Amino acid sequence: MKNLRIAVLTVALLVAGLTVPFGTTLAGSKQHLNFKSIDVALPGVTFTAALGINAQGDIVGRYAVGTVGHGYLLSDGTYTTIDDPNGIGRSQAQGITEEGEIVGYYAVPVPTTVDPAGAFTRSFLRDPDGTFSPIGVPGANNTLAIKISPTGKVVGCFHNLSFDFLTTMHGFVLQDGNYEEFPVPGSMHNGITPNGRTIVGVVFPTVSTFHAYMVHDGVFQMIDPPSAVVSDARDINSSREIVGFFTDSANKTHGFLLRKGEFTTIDFPGGDVVATQARGINPQGDIVGFYVSRDASGLLHTHGFVATGNGDKD
């Protein structure tokens, strides 16, 4: 199908313990952000997450009706379901360009004798006219397309089976039909700048630990927030502002913004909110993600959000 070629990247010190520090400080907890909750306005929806946003403010993500997941596009106040016709109800729309190209992924069933998860993950590119095209790393059972740049570069990861991702999962960059594989096992590319020089993602040293990273001009750096036990970088914009999430020593999950070497914690406001994740950022600095709230009976509910005001730069 497409030729697989190995990216030549500088990963000095990476193999020796994944301990390259990134010189950052933790900014004050004050948030200069205006939050708006997002819930897909369709009957029976039980879950909404916002995962990507473009310069026009179009948002893509995932919603669920019961246990059935769907991708969606929110544009000018209108929700459109984004489901690849080859999927089985586990679709997610992850990234969107200014032209309206959308990438994401979905599940296809396989026997549990092939993979205990009972499904493989396949990816798609959806054109603005609604046409779906497959994205798949040759030879890989699972391909996850996460974000797409304005120039059409797609980033994500691939792996073999659900239980061997520590050794077979690698980040990739797709451009003009060529896949560049990131040579670090357990890595996942999640975002890329328009010029393609900077990539962010997450690496899994073990099944239960994961850490955010950045690759700039081929040089790898860890970007864990100072109070993080685990962390994940999910997107980056043209100003090299990075968003993601981390879990602290109290086992609470927060979003983060890394800007000009400083981390700012992102928490959706409210006493009932128990977790926040930032998942996407556009050129203006608008941030999307999701938060989890607990109701009076103890039940958890997941909602998407968009946060504006980060564009008021100093």
Helix (H, G, I), strand (E, B) or coil at 167: helix
Of 14-28, 32-46, 196-210, 295-309, least confident by mean pLDDT is 14-28
The average pLDDT across 77-91 equals: 91
Predicted pLDDT at 31: 59
Model confidence pLDDT, tens digit, residues 226-259: 999 999 999 999 999 999 999 999 999 999 999 9
Question: Is 313 part of any domain?
Answer: no
Question: Is 79 part of any domain?
Answer: yes
- Token reading at 166: 């520590």
Of 21-35, 63-77, 168-182, 185-199, least confident by mean pLDDT is 21-35
- Residue 87, pLDDT > 90, answer no
For residue 118, how far is the Cα from the chain centroid?
A: 23
Residue numbers of the domain that contains 221 = 4-308
Predicted pLDDT at 28: 46
In this structure, the number of other CB atoms found within 10 A of the CB of residue 129 comes to 6
In a 13 Å sphere around the CA of 12, the CA atoms on its Cβ side amount to 3
Model confidence pLDDT, tens digit, residues 152-169: 999 999 999 999 989 999
- Residue 296, pLDDT > 80, answer yes
Q: Are 227 and 185 in contact (CB under 8 A)?
A: no
Predicted pLDDT at 106: 96
Question: Is 277 part of any domain?
Answer: yes
Beta strand 119-126 with 287-294 is unpaired
The average pLDDT across 85-95 equals: 90
Question: Is 314 part of any domain?
Answer: no
Q: b vs e for 33-64, b when ≥16 Cβ sit within 10 Å of the residue's Cβ?
A: bebeebbbeeeebebbbbbbbbeeebbbbbbb
Distance CA 178, CA 131 (A): 21
Question: Is 81 part of any domain?
Answer: yes
The average pLDDT across 22-50 equals: 78
- Residue 120, pLDDT > 80, answer yes
pLDDT-derived band of residue 67, with 50, 70 and 90 as boundaries? confident
pLDDT-above-70 percentage for the chain: 89
The average pLDDT across 204-209 equals: 94
How many domains does the structure of the chain reveal?
1
Predicted pLDDT at 108: 94
For all residues of the chain together, what is the average pLDDT? Answer: 90
Please give the sequence-ordered ranges of beta strands (E in DSSP) within 41-152, or none if there are none: 45-53, 59-65, 68-75, 78-82, 92-96, 102-109, 119-126, 132-135, 142-148
Predicted pLDDT at 160: 96
For residue 104, how far is the Cα from the chain centroid?
A: 10
Predicted pLDDT at 32: 80
- Residue 17, pLDDT > 50, answer no
Question: Is 164 part of any domain?
Answer: yes
The average pLDDT across 107-126 equals: 96
Which residues touch 131 (CB under 8 Å, ≥6 apart)?
A: none
Domain CATH for 87: 2.120.10.30
pLDDT-derived band of residue 312, with 50, 70 and 90 as boundaries? low
pLDDT-derived band of residue 311, with 50, 70 and 90 as boundaries? low
Torsions phi, psi of 129, nearest 5? -85, 0
Of 31-40, 188-197, 262-271, least confident by mean pLDDT is 31-40
Q: Kindly write down the DSSP assignment for every residue of 44-57, as one continuous string.
A: TEEEEEEEEE-TT-
The average pLDDT across 90-119 equals: 96
Q: Are 266 and 247 in contact (CB under 8 A)?
A: no
